[in-house]
Each structure stands twice: as C-alpha cells, then as structure tokens.
Structure 1
C-alpha cells in the first residue's frame, strides 16, 4: 500500500523524481488538495502550459464513459514526451473507481494520472484502487495543525521579507487554518499591508485580517474579568452591530470560569501560589490575558467561581427559552460578573 502521511508530504515533494505514475490527492481541506496537486503536477517535469501534453478533466466528464480515462491515459503525446491526465473534483463514483482500477494494472508508458478528490473515508473505493496499485500513491490533505500553520506563516512572511512579533504570531495561529489557500490568501494580504515595515505587529494582524466579531467577543470576555464596565459595553455594542450572537460571550465566560475553577483548586486545595500555578498550568493562555487571569485567580474563590458558573449557565438557558430577549439577558448577566470582578480586584 502506497500512502504518505500528511506531515510527510514536504519531504516527498523535495525528492528528485517519483516512481508513481498515478497519484490521488484527497482530503477535507480543498485548498490544500489543490495546492499539493499543483506541486505533484510540477514534479512530473511536464510543461503544464502545453495543452498537447496536459489534459484537464472534471470527474463529471467521465460519467457514463469510464473507458475514456483508459483511452486518455494510454494516449501518446502529439509531440512526444510524457503526458499528464489531471482529473479534478473526484468523488467515490463507481464509474471512476472502475476506470482507475483498470488503468492501475496497465503499463503507463509515458503517462501520468493525477486525481484531486474530496474527503474519502478509509476503505473508500477510490482510495483502495490507488493504494493497492504498485505504481500509485495516495496523498491525504487534512487541515493544518499548529505546526503546519506556523510553517506557513514563516514561509509567506519570509518570502515577503517580513519578521513577526510573538503576540502577532500567536493571534495569527488562532485566526488561520481550515483551508490552506484561504490561509495563504490572508497571509499575502497581511504581507501587502505590512510591505516596507519589516515587522508584523499584533495591531497589523488585527487591522489586516482580524475578524471584528471574534475580536470583540474576546475583548468582552477580557473586560468582564477585568471589571471594566465601559470596555464591556463598547464590546457588546460592536458584537450586536455585527449581528453576532452575544451568547458567544456567555459561553466564553463560562469556559474562562471553568479554567479558573481548575486553577483555583490548586491554590485552595494544594496550597500553591497563583503565580506558580500560572507558570505551570497557564501556558495555553494568551500572554495578554495572563495578567487578567492571574488577578482573577488571586481574588475569586472556588465558592464564588462555582456560584457564578451556575448563574451564567442559567442565563444561557434563559436565552434559549426567550431568544427575543437574548441580548438583554446576556448583557445583564455579564454586567453582574463584570461588577463582581471589579469588587474582587
């Protein structure tokens, strides 16, 4: 069975040549599928701008005529040299699976077959047809993990001659991912915005690609636990103006209280100092929020945390029962938590 892991692709594409004449690139990240397929196509050494050497097909073009794939795969380039048959938007259609199975068992001659497909489960017919063939390779494409996103940031900003500050890198890591081409597009937009500055700052990220609604939700949560009523009101106004559900702030505050509950238990039940707890358990907290969390950790007791969690959970329930009053219910609940934070600070 020939299949490389998601993280092995970079090493594969750097190697000279390939013994594989049939390559299936598939996965839920369609942007990454498209990007990797283009890299595989370039690796064949065929002139991709030559319409006599490259035949591009939609998988739907083969519906009802599965024999066409075998004909095209067995054809000889008009002016000699290798030939590439590039099939896009493939699925697990029976006709395509049968066609790929048929060509996988024949001498490819000077032909290459490249197939782009969506997410295919293990055991799917198209995957089995490729993975069981001696001269075929399957390449999965899953959404970038944290390491992949950081490598993408370094690649795109490095190409633009830019460095990036630590807080900006952390925020970018939270905003990117899900689709490789979309992430590249956002990074190139950021690079253009910062052209000539030499360094990307956190403010640059917010201005160039920041999601205003998401940033406002974060701002509201930080305002709640800072005891800053004015900042909270301003953030809530932005959230409501963007038509974003204010429930997200309630949920975010509940998550923050759950985290505080876990951290505070080390203070009250294991006699640990808040600063020590933050050093040991606070690595995943954004550095700008760490002072807020540490201050809350010093003043919020377990009893108060659990009482507030129950009250906010009740507020969430009320917003579900009376959705037309969601904004008012959430605002009142969040203001109370904010005033408690001010009292405890």
Structure 2
C-alpha cells in the first residue's frame, strides 16, 4: 500500500506485525536508510539484522521468504535489509508477500526504481507492504529538515543557518547529520542544554560550501578533463567537503541529460531543449549532449549510486570511492572528445 513518511514512522515505531515489507524507492537513499535504521532501533539493541544482496535474491528467490520466517539464533527480534534492489528482486518479494507466514520485517532500499517499476507496483497493491517514494528535500523542505535534525542535537537554527546547512549538504540527510554533530560538539550543545546555531559557528566549522566550488568539479567530470577534476577534488577535500553533495549534484545533471537525450531520440529539436535550460548552464549542457549518449549516462549514474552506497557503509574509505567514480566518469567523457 502507498504510505507517507508519517505513516511509515508510526508503523515502524509500533513494530506493526501486519507489515511484512517496507519498500523505500527513489533517489533519497540517505532518507531511506534513516527509516531503515529506525526499524532497527524500534526492535531494540539486541535485534539481529540480516543483510541480503539483490544478486542473492536473483539466484535464489526463495531466500528472502525463508529468512523472514526464520527464528533468530538467540531467540530475539530480527529483521532483513536489502540495499540497492531493482527489478531482479520481483520474484523474491512476490514469494515473501505470498508466503503463509513471515515473522520478521523486511526493508528494501531501491533508489533507482521509479513508480512504474514492477517491484513498486507489487508493494503498492499488497496490504502487507508499505511503499514510500523517497525524494531529496528541496527548498523549504530541506530547510525544515535541517532545523529538525539540529533540534535533535540541541541546536536552534537562527537566521539563514538552516538554509546554509541544506545547501552545503545537497539535501542529504546523512551529511546534514554529520555536520550538525560536529557543530553540536563545537558549541557543547545537547538536547538538555540547547545552543543557538549562528553563521559564526558555521564559518568556524566549515559548513559553508557554495554551489560554485562543486560545480567546477562536476563540469570537469562531464567535459572529460580528469586532470582538472583531480585539482578540483583536491580542493574540496582540503576544505573538508563531504563527497555526497558532489555526487548528488552530478547525478542530477546526468539524469537531466538522460531526459533530454530521450526527447532528442524521440524527435525533439535540440536547440529548443537548450533554450529551456538555465542560461548559465546552456553552454555546458550543449557540450555534454555531444559527449554523453543514453548508455554512457546510465553507466555513469550507476557508478555514482554504487559510490554513494559504499560511502554509507561503516569504516568506508570516504573520498577515495567518490574520487575514483568521478575520475572514471571524466575518462568516459574524455574518450568522446
């Protein structure tokens, strides 16, 4: 069934036995992971988490239903998580929802799936599933999210600090949280001793990245200049910038290019499409359309998604993964120049 974020949170916090499957699809993978983590917290610190890969479900579709019905080795609560799922998981999810019993909830993160995907339609149609489309917050929604996370850390946003945080993080919940954790430590803030978060604190800690700095790295990647990209990435790393917002912005540019290429393939006039682009981006968009076809765009987006997922893992190598993915993308473009 279709659900909104509040309905999902209510069901998760109550550990509703009526819900076998939580499906979170759409580009806000960070928000989806936060909801998945919320389920783990609701089940308690002793709950056992089983992680399954989409490739496992493709080769053994019955595995998911078996794990959902199995008892924990220690007799406590358990739940199953599948990250990076796509249409290859359709049979496994069908077997899960059609099974006679399923005592353990399943969370599926499917950042690349759209509302028209068969997996999404399956979850929407089944009463034992809850399905949420996760989109990156923008504008006022992103500002409100920054304010809410700040409050959880004992920080009261003032003036334009919420908007600055939202812009610096690219709307990514995980990046916002990490920045606010640093700011709370800097200001000695906590829920029981709240502090005001002002521009001076943001300047001191460094959460002041503007779009222009990230844009130069993105342009270098799309235009196919690995050497220039290396210099830009080094500058971002020196400033302590998280790679997530950069990857997110690059993904958005590629998705926009994919939509334009689809229109061109369908017979649209390229010049007319360029006229709809923000005037400062018209020249770079024209160059990109010459270098990037649909297949290469799809490949590049998948590389970005993989890099994002790798960065979210515990003990991850951080910037190295993002830098490598963006360098490969720059080289893909360079071969077309």
| TM-score normalised by length of structure 1 | 0.53
Task: Give the 5 Å matches for 1:23-34.
Answer: 23-34=22-33
Deviation at 1:135, TM superposition (A): 0.8
**1:105 equivalent in structure 2:** 98
Q: Secondary structure at the match of 1:111?
A: coil
Q: Distance in 2 between matches of 1:189 and 1:21?
A: 37
Q: Quote the residue 2:21 is aligned against.
A: 22
**Aligned pair in 2 of structure 1 residues 144, 18: CA closer, same or farther (>3 Å)?**
farther
Find the aligned partners of 1:60 and 1:179 in 2 and give their Cα distance.
Answer: 27
Equivalent pairs, count: 220
Distance 1:154 1:78, change over 3 A: same
Q: 1:124 aligns to what? A: 117
| C-alpha spacing 1:65/1:242, structure 2 compared with 1 (3 Å) | closer
Q: C-alpha distance in 1, partners of 2:73/2:164?
A: 52
Q: Which runs of 5+ in 2 are unaligned?
A: 215-231, 237-278, 288-337
Q: CA RMSD in A?
A: 3.6
* Equivalent in the alignment of 2:200: 203
Q: Distance in 2 between matches of 1:186 and 1:131?
A: 35
8 Å Cα contact 1:149-1:173 kept in structure 2? yes
CA drift of 1:4 comes to 1.2
Aligned-residue offset at 1:156? 3.2
Q: Distance in 1 between matches of 2:73 and 2:160?
A: 55
79-88 or 54-63: bigger deviation: 79-88
Q: Give yes or no for contact 1:23–1:113 (8 Å, CA) kept in 2.
A: yes
Following the alignment from structure 1 to structure 2, what is the Cα–Cα distance between the partners of residues 113 and 7?
Answer: 18
The residue aligned with 2:37 is: 38
Residues 78 and 215 of structure 1: CA distance in aligned 2, closer, same or farther (over 3 Å): closer
**Deviation per residue, 1:139-159 (Å, 9 max, x gap):** 221112334333333333323
SS in 1 for 2:83: strand
- Cα distance in 2 for residues equivalent to 1:102 and 1:192: 47
Q: 1:143 maps to which residue?
A: 136
Q: Verify: 1:66 aligned to 2:61, yes or no.
A: yes
Q: Secondary structure at the match of 2:87?
A: coil
Return the alpha-carbon distance in structure 2 between the equivalents of residues 213 and 151 of structure 1. 19
Unaligned runs of 5+ in 1: 218-238, 244-312, 322-345
1:189 equivalent to 2:182? Answer: yes
Q: Could you tell me whether the CA contact under 8 Å between 2:24 and 2:108 is conserved in 1?
A: yes
1:219-275 CA distance string (max 9 Å, x none):
xxxxxxxxxxxxxxxxxxxx9x969xxxxxxxxxxxxxxxxxxxxxxxxxxxxxxxx
Q: CA deviation at 1:215?
A: 7.8
CA contact (8 A) 1:6 1:142 kept: no
Q: 1:56·1:86 contact (CA, 8 Å) conserved in 2?
A: yes
Aligned to 1:278: none
Distance 1:11 1:21, change over 3 A: closer
